[in-house]
Amino acid sequence: MASRDLETFDFVIIGAGSAGSVLANRLSVDGHTTVLVLEFGGSDRSMLIQMPAALSIPMNMARYNWQYETEPEPHLNGRRLHCPRGKVIGGSSSINGLVYVRGNPLDFERWEEGAEGWGYRHVLSYFQRAEARQEGGDAWRGSSGPLATRYGRVENPLYTAFVEAAQQAGYPATKDINGEQQEGFGRMDMTVRNGVRWSAADAYLKPAMRRPNLTVRTYALVTRILFEGTRAVGVGYLQANTEYEGRAGREIILSGGPINSPHLLKLSGVGPAEELTALGIDVVHHLPGVGENLQDYLEFYFQIACTQPITLYSQRSLTSKARIVARWLMRRDGLGATNHFETCGFIRSRAGIRYPYIQYHFLPLAVTYDGKGLASEHGFQAHVGPMRSKSRGFVRLKSSNPRDYPRIRFNYISHEDDWIEMRACVRLTREIFAQTAFDPYRGREIQPGAHVRTDAEIDAFIREKVESAYHPSFSCRMGRSSNPMAVVDPETRVIGLEGLRVVDSSIMPSITTGNLNAPTIMIGRRRPTIFSVSPSLQPRTRAITWRRIGPQRSVECLSSYLATTSGASCQPRELQVNQASATVPSRPRRAGHWVRLKDFTRRVWPLLLLARLMSLGLGSVLSRP
């Protein structure tokens, strides 16, 4: 083993992904705490990563992606599903779909049930401090943080048709899915700055790399965590086929993500004793929850042919793509500068559910997320899926060799309730696309297909077509030390050991309602200051949730989550709702006309202004030779 002169740092961080990048920045901010970051991937300097519209390319490249696959999934016709994970500076935030969703405020109330200190009032200010929202900050959003977010330009009329159709179907619109009210349909934020992907590395790691106390080593595969008794003291890693050791005077922080973090813990002797001993691994600490409880979102693509040639299908030729790339290279704008997920929705399928759990991403193209399955005609689609699945899987060892990939199985849709939710997703989406807002555009249903109606037909479609939305988590879940399946305590320390934490998306106590990059960054941002939140940072929030009721197409204000500035006394509570005042009858036709009227006014006002100027005689002045 090469010693690199027995290097010792205050902190060693394993993984420069979403959480690792933030931690590297925050832990080294004082200029003298020494931090070593070890990342198996390499540089993110590639147009394929930087150009938002190219998102489906890096997620398929072995250079940037660990390219995991699940074991045959028993409830999905034995299919192996793709499980991409970033292997590059910025981790998965460098190869993801750039969608920025914080989650529902009530997600964090669920977290707090088993992990004190992670309620919405604790985490909100960290979301705000992270954000540099192009559209500006408000009581919920931040505008001066390092993580750039922005809306798309919503130039394609299909984006607005989607939001209008959802309102016609009885759902509310929302001004900001990351603000006061997640529930409803509206615009979607993306992590893009000046037309370029803005990963966690761009926001946090790269600005910190100038600091002399931060060392980042790429192409370094951490193979094990080293212990003295129950204290983690260092890591062994391979770089250019040479073995090194890095020692940590204070702590080792594992930020390898939901597959690699449990894998490395197990390789290092931390996990279910039976599994480890069967492979000849010495048990440092028996922790049965490591790698268990694995969870993910599934989604399918509900695709409709478009009767007008206005979708991104027009851009499929090589010349069109070359034009998009050239424009992006010269001006960092145009179709290359967006992820094309510009409108979205969050709903509940029925009464009796506390807050939304079905997510929609709308795309003016019929294609699979990984870009491999493009429909052969103009089309548009919604990515749809429920986000609170009851199915659980695992990450288990195949061998004790760190280069062997682990066994991954999600047991997707193994719980009967998940089938009920999937069927609801198909039926509710069909209803949205049937609204009049889509009349000018709606062609045939490409998939599932108009013939897919009964439960059995829908189940068959789901079994064959559903895909991962790429949000595994929960495999090192956080909880009280008394919880036998918890892996880290609410301060992110590995239970039963010293000097070791896990800080990444694997520790979420339950999965959030949305994509996971934003909450993972929040976890990383919060960790160094955990439990030292100043009371003045406590948020004041009033997040309203809604539900759709019955065929009369109305929405009802169901409950409010009210957090006050009073810190500890703040509790979520169901409010007494005055039914009469809370019921908002939907007026689909008028809502549609109103949007069109606003659109019309926006387009014609410059002409009206010019006409007015001319009538004032300025026209003759302007037209003088």
Ligand X SMILES: Cc1cc2nc3c(=O)[nH]c(=O)nc-3n(C[C@H](O)[C@H](O)[C@H](O)COP(=O)(O)OP(=O)(O)OC[C@H]3O[C@@H](n4cnc5c(N)ncnc54)[C@H](O)[C@@H]3O)c2cc1C
Annotated binding site for FAD: 88, 96-99, 222
Binding residue (CB under 6 A) for ligand X from 168, 295, 515, 559: 515
Torsion of CA 613, 614, 620, 625, to 10 degrees: 80
| Total residues interacting with ligand X, rule: CB under 6 A | 41
The 55-94 contact track toward ligand X, x by CB under 6 A, reads ----x------------------------xxxx---xxx-
Residue span binding ligand X (CB under 6 A) among the ranges 241-249, 255-263, 392-400, 459-467: 255-263
HEC string of 3-15 equals CCCCCEEEEEEEC
Other beta carbons less than 10 A from residue 464's beta carbon: 13
Question: In this structure, which long-range contacts are made by residues 230-236, counting pairs with CB atoms below 8 Å and at least 24 apart in sequence?
Answer: 230/284, 230/285, 230/496, 230/497, 230/498, 231/497, 231/498, 231/499, 232/494, 232/497, 232/498, 232/499, 232/500, 233/499, 234/12, 235/12, 235/14, 235/38, 236/1
- 509 binds ligand X, rule: CB under 6 A: no
Helix (H, G, I), strand (E, B) or coil at 355: coil
Q: CA dist 92 to 57, 260, 404, Å?
A: 13, 12, 20
Q: How many CB atoms lie within 10 A of CB 553?
A: 16
Please identify which of the residues 82, 263, 383, 471 carries the catalytic annotation.
Answer: 471
Give least dist CB 10 to ligand X, A: 19
Say which DSSP state 42 is in.
Answer: B
Separation CA 625–CA 621 (nearest Å): 9
DSSP string, 198-245: --HIIIIIHHHTTSTTEEEESSEEEEEEEEETTEEEEEEEEETTEEEE
Shortest separation between residue 92's beta carbon and ligand X, angstroms: 3
State which residue, 290 or 555, has the beta carbon closest to ligand X.
290
**Which residue from 13, 24, 27, 38 is in contact with ligand X, where contact means CB under 6 A?**
38
Write the binding mask 456 to 495 for ligand X: x where contact by CB under 6 A, - elsewhere: --------------xx------------------------
Residue nearer to ligand X on the CB measure, 272 or 514: 514
Residue 357 or 546: which CB sits closer to ligand X? 357
The helix (run of H) or strand (run of E) holding residue 417 is helix 416-433
Q: What is the CA radius of gyration of the chain?
A: 25
Residue nearest to ligand X (CB): 17
> Binding site: which residues?
88, 96-99, 222
Nearer to ligand X, 129 or 542 (CB): 129
Q: Dump the DSSP string for 243-311.
A: EEEEEEEEEEEE--HHHHHHHHHHHTTEE-HHHHHHTTPPPSEE-TTTTEEEB--EEEEEEEEESSS-S
Q: By CB under 6 A, is residue 255 in contact with ligand X?
A: yes
Element (H, E) at 603: helix 588-615
- Between 12 and 335, CB nearer to ligand X: 12
* Least distance (Å) between residue 511 CB and ligand X: 10
* Alpha carbons 24 and 120: distance in angstroms, whole number: 24
* CB closer to ligand X out of 405 and 419: 405
Task: Supply the DSSP symbol for 76.
Answer: T
List 76, 95, 312, 466, residue binding ligand X (CB under 6 A): 95
Which stretch in 95-103, 347-355, 377-385, 431-439 sits in contact with ligand X by CB under 6 A? 95-103
Binders of ligand X among 205-224, rule CB under 6 A? 220-222
Q: If binding is defined by CB under 6 A, does position 40 make contact with ligand X?
A: yes
| 505 is a contact residue toward ligand X (CB under 6 A) | yes
Of the two residues 393 and 572, which places its CB atom closer to ligand X in the complex?
393
In whole angstroms, the minimum distance from the beta carbon of 261 to ligand X comes to 7
Which residue in 18, 70, 349, 468 binds ligand X (CB under 6 A)? 18
Written as six digits, the tokens of 453 are 């109606």
Report the residue from 12, 24, 41, 375 that binds ligand X according to the rule CB under 6 A: 41
The answer to whether 99 contacts ligand X (rule: CB under 6 A) is yes
516 binds ligand X (CB under 6 A): yes
Catalytic residue flag (residue 471): yes
CB of 434 to ligand X, least distance (A): 28
Contact 218, 41 (CB under 8 A): yes
Residues near ligand X (CB under 6 A): 14-20, 38-41, 59, 84-87, 91-93, 95-99, 220-222, 255-257, 260, 264, 470-471, 504-505, 515-518, 520
Catalytic positions are 471
